[in-house]
Chains A and B, each alone.
Chain A
Amino acid sequence: MSQLSDIRHAVAERIRAAGIDSSVNVFAYAPKDARLPAVVVEPAPDTYIEYHGTFGAVRVQSVNLVVRIFVPMENSPQSAGELIDEYLSSGTAESSSLADAITGVVAVGDDTADVFAERAENFTRATLELAQTTPVMTCAIPVRVVLNRS
């Protein structure tokens, strides 16, 4: 696997390992189909990679990801919103916190990278089109990964 693939899988694995919710399905790449609720690790839509953070043979680069949450709205918008709020809450008492699960250090090859969940944004209703079209409540967590580029 490539370095970028390692990073996306590592971020997904951190979320899985945190066990935020046994019903959540976590994907390092957009799936063909998925049972909801789901969390998908995606490249940031604007700037995915900033290669030249510093000079030199071993230079700092930033990889910008977005962890996107999808919760079905089949039952009620309120229950979907409350579930997303549960995932977005953070702190030691919040066992379902995505931000706390994401933030940390991951192994990338022989090196490590710092992973930081910056904020939550774009909390909105949407339509998820996979194998079938599903109304969902969604929110995005921009994630910055900083590592040395060998």
Chain B
Amino acid sequence: VTPPFRVERSGRIETTLDDASWSILGTMPDYLAGLDGDRSDPAVARLYPPGHPDDEEAERRFRSLVTPGLRHARSKDLEAFVAVVAGRPDSLSAAEASVWLRVLGEARLAIAARAGVVGEAPDGWDEAEPESPEIALVHFLGYLQGSLAAALLGSGEWR
């Protein structure tokens, strides 16, 4: 089986994705849009975790300091990801691959958090329904993300 991502001699990352995979990648905004307000949403809580969990005042200052930049960076990542996915390219630059890794990771965390995967490994999965389509999607995106991370690390251009 051809892996979804392989490093080329040039250092670029070759993509070998079928139509279904490209279609799934096209749905990432469905999971990541509107993830910036409601902290009772487990996905928001997971993607914007506390920096100072034991100090309310420091945490308020930290949140107001980092949240706007974090939201902006995530919206730029998603925008760049959507633009590249729309073209279904044969290969990715290292910079594009970095964006993809973050977006795939963010989607996995958001979907898993909403499906009840919480806490520390390995018991964090205990509350989630293992056969659910959401968990299947988390694993599929992990298959892509793992292949891409390995290819990018192997490219020597990963910074």
**B is bound to A:** no
